[in-house]
Amino acid sequence: MSAESTPDPAAAGEPGTPAARRGRGRRRKPRGKRPSGMKVMAWTAAGIVVLGGTGIGYVYFKLNGNISSVDIDQALGTDRPEKADNGSENILVLGSDTRSGSNKGIGGGTDDGTARSDTAMIVHIYEGHKKASVVSIPRDTLIERPECTDSEGNRHPGARSAMFNSAYATGGAACAVKTVEKMTDLRMDHYLEVDFAGFQKLIDRLGGVEVTTSKDIKDPESHLDLPAGTHRLDGEQALGLVRTRHGVGDGSDLGRIQLQQAFLKALVKQVREIGLFTNPKKLYDLADTATKTVTTDSGLGSVNALMSFAGGMKGISPGNMQMVTMPVAYDPDNPNRVLLQKQKADLVWKALKQDKPIPKAATEESATGEAKDVVSAP
C-alpha cells in the first residue's frame, strides 16, 4: 500500500483514537522530555577520557555492554538519499515518550506498550566539525508518512495527513528515519534516541543545569514553578521545563521547542565548563549512565564508535550552533496541528545539503509558539 492511499485516522486525530486524545492540547502530567542533539554527543565524550585515561579493560566491556542499537541501514535498504562526500553528517535525534520500564510514571501516562517521538531534531555537523545546525521538527506537524519497514522486517503502510510523531509510533526508529529522509531528501548518517528516565538521570549526574528565565514559568501539569531569575535545575525540573507547553507562549508544541533549544545551549555550555575531563569518577558515572540510556544506530553501537564520534564534536561550542524550527504554519482546521511550509522548508534542506548556514529567509514569518528568549544560559 502506498503513502498516497491511506489516511491515518489515529495519526490525524479522529475522535476516540489515542492520537485524538493526545492532540487536544492537554498532556497528562507532562513531566519529562529531553532536549536532544549535542547533549548526547557530550555525554558520550565522557567515555573518551575514562577509557583512554584508565586503560582498564573492564570499563570498556561494561560500557560496551550498556549500549542498545538498531540496524537502521538494513531496515531501509538502498532507496535512500546519497551520503555527503565532504565530511559533514546528519544525525536524527529523538526523545521517545515510552512509559515502560524505568519511565513508568514519568511524564504522566501508563505503560500501554506504545511510544512516540516526543522530540525530534536533525543535527547537521558541518565539514570540519566546528559548527552545527539543529532543526527541530514539531511532533504535531501533519505530513505524508511513507511506506516503511521496521528493524524487525515488518512492513507498514504509508498515510496522508499523519502526525510526524506517528512514524516512530508505527514502525520505530527505522520508520522515523525513513520519514525524515523522505521529507528532507537528506541522508541521516546516524540515529540517537533518549527516553524520559535517561534524560533525568543524565542531568542529575551533571549536577544540574543552570538557566535564566526572563519571566515566571508555572505549569501545574509539569509540576514546574520557576520565578523569573537564574536557577540550577535538577533532572526532574529540567524534564518539566523542556516538556511544558502550558507554562509559556501560546501553549503549543512550538513554544516548547523554543525552551528545548535554549536549554540545549545551556547544557552544552555547562558540559564544556564543569571540568569533566579532570574528574575521572564523574566521567565514568556520566558515561555509564549515558550508555545505558541512549539507543543508537548500529554504526554507533560500540564504545569505540561513540568515542570516535564524540571526539569529532569537541570543537562545537554553543556560539557555533544555529538552532531553528522547521518552517510551519498553524493548521486553520485544527489548532493542535501545524502544516509544513514547503517552500521555506526546502530552503533549510537545500542549505544543509550544500553544507551552508540556514538562511534567515527560511524561517521568517514561520509559526514560533511565542516563547523565544524566555530561557537562556546565564
What average pLDDT does range 40-51 have in this prediction? Answer: 40
Q: What is the pLDDT at residue 336?
A: 87
Q: What is the pLDDT at residue 58?
A: 61
Q: Check pLDDT > 90 for residue 28.
A: no
Burial 255-267 (b: 16+ CB within 10 A, else e): bbbbbbbbbbbbb
Q: Cα separation of 243 and 184, whole Å?
A: 25
Q: Cα separation of 145 and 6, whole Å?
A: 10
Closest to 256 in 3D by CA, of 137, 365, 358, 341: 137
Among 62-66, 81-85, 110-114, 365-369, the minimum mean pLDDT is found in: 110-114
Cell numbers standing for residue 261: 533549544
Tell me the pLDDT of the chain averaged across its residues: 79
Q: Are 248 and 226 in contact (CB under 8 A)?
A: no
What average pLDDT does range 302-314 have in this prediction? Answer: 78
More confident residue, 87 or 25: 87
Among 257-261, 308-312, 318-322, 335-339, the minimum mean pLDDT is found in: 308-312
Among 11-15, 128-132, 275-279, the minimum mean pLDDT is found in: 11-15
Q: Where are the alpha helices (DSSP H) in the chain?
A: 9-12, 18-22, 37-54, 57-66, 72-76, 166-184, 196-205, 235-243, 253-273, 280-293, 303-311, 342-353
Q: How confident is the model at residue 24 (pLDDT cuts 50, 70, 90)?
A: very low
Among 87-96, 182-191, 250-259, the minimum mean pLDDT is found in: 250-259
Q: What is the pLDDT at residue 306?
A: 78
User: How many percent of the chain have pLDDT more than 90?
Assistant: 43
Q: Cα separation of 140 and 120, whole Å?
A: 11
Q: What is the pLDDT at residue 282?
A: 74
More confident residue, 232 or 39: 232
Q: What is the dihedral of CA 320, 322, 323, 328, to 10 degrees?
A: 180
User: How many percent of the chain have pLDDT more than 70?
Assistant: 77
More confident residue, 61 or 18: 61
263-305 pLDDT, tens digit per residue, is 988 888 887 777 665 667 777 788 888 888 889 999 988 878 8
Q: What is the pLDDT at residue 134?
A: 94
Burial 8-43 (b: 16+ CB within 10 A, else e): bbbbbbeeeeebbebbeeebebbbbbbbbbbbbbbb
Beta bridge partners of 175: none
Q: Cα separation of 345 and 359, whole Å?
A: 11
Q: Check pLDDT > 90 for residue 110.
A: no
Q: Are 222 and 247 in contact (CB under 8 A)?
A: yes
- The string of DSSP codes covering 127-174 is TTSS-EEEEE--TTEEEEEPPEE-TTS-EE--EEEEETTHHHHHHHHH
Q: Cα separation of 298 and 293, whole Å?
A: 15
Q: What is the pLDDT at residue 243?
A: 85
Q: Cα separation of 71 and 173, whole Å?
A: 9
Q: Which domains does the chain have, with CATH numbers?
A: 29-376 (3.40.630.190)
